């Protein structure tokens, strides 16, 4: 049955106005977000299928391609769903803003919300001023870390551009285990040595895992 053919007390938008968001089911909330269904399924049915396939707790961890596997979820709707996820991450980060880095835990708190559900490794640098306040963050690479990709030129270029004298290396392990691989350690050593040559100090390399971190300095 089409949404417009339902009685008003069963239409998500009308129920939202009358009873508030808390009265709606998960599928009804997603129906308001998605707006339209398909020729053969109304938007509530599409929303139910989406939640049934991935589960509400894992839905925001999906990629665009995974969401688009559900009939009725095209690129635009998939982006709408993942936009909500990204906004939520930023809201969580804004509640506990980190501006000054004093220890590895500060780095973990700064990045954890955005990296905890990532399915690929993301390699960032944090660029700091002389007081260890964050000037800028820069994503250097996305995917499996490779020494050939993480060339010192690409790593240090943002720091040089911002006239910074120190940086922190950061990346995540999608497995949840933050213990470094042999290549992680080799890359760290290479970049520390390269930094000495151009007088840019690497203060630490922090690896983000599931609820925990590994720190070059602390370990």
- Could you tell me if 33 and 126 lie in one domain? no
pLDDT tens digits, 55-75: 988 888 888 999 999 999 999
Domain end call among 93, 124, 144: 93
What average pLDDT score do residues 11-35 get?
93
* pLDDT score of 104: 96
Question: Is the model's pLDDT at 147 over the cut of 60?
Answer: no
**CA-closest candidate to residue 82, choices 40, 54, 121, 109:** 54
Question: Is the model's pLDDT at 146 over the cut of 80?
Answer: no
Domain end call among 93, 108, 143: 93
* pLDDT score of 85: 85
- Could you tell me if 123 and 163 lie in one domain? yes
Q: In terms of DSSP H, where are the helices of 8-151?
A: 12-19, 26-34, 43-54, 64-67, 75-95, 104-115
User: To 10 degrees, the CA torsion angle through 94, 95, 100, 106?
Assistant: -110
Structural domain boundaries, residue 150: 98-215
Question: Is the model's pLDDT at 96 over the cut of 70?
Answer: no
Evaluate whether 104 touches 215 at the Cβ level (below 8 Å): yes
* pLDDT score of 7: 83
């Amino acid at each position: 049955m089409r949404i417009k053919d339902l009685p008003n007390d069963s239409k998500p938008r009308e129920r939202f106005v009358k009873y508030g968001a808390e009265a709606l089911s998960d599928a009804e909330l997603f129906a308001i977000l998605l707006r339209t269904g398909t020729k053969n399924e109304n938007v509530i049915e599409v929303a139910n299928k989406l939640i049934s396939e991935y589960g509400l707790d894992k839905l925001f961890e999906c990629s665009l391609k995974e969401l688009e596997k559900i009939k009725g979820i095209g690129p635009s709707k998939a982006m709408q769903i993942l936009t909500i996820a990204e906004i939520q991450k930023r809201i969580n980060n804004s509640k506990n803003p980190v501006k000054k880095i004093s220890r590895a835990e500060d780095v973990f708190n700064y990045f954890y919300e955005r990296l905890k559900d990532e399915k690929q490794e993301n390699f960032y640098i944090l660029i700091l001023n002389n007081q260890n306040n964050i000037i800028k963050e820069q994503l250097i690479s996305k995917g499996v870390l490779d020494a050939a990709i993480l060339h010192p030129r690409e790593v240090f270029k943002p720091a040089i551009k911002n006239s910074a004298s120190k940086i922190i290396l950061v990346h995540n392990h999608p497995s949840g285990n933050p213990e470094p691989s042999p290549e992680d350690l080799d890359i760290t050593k290479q970049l520390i040595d390269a930094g000495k040559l151009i007088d840019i100090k690497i203060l630490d390399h922090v690896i983000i895992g599931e609820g925990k971190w590994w720190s070059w300095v602390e370990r």
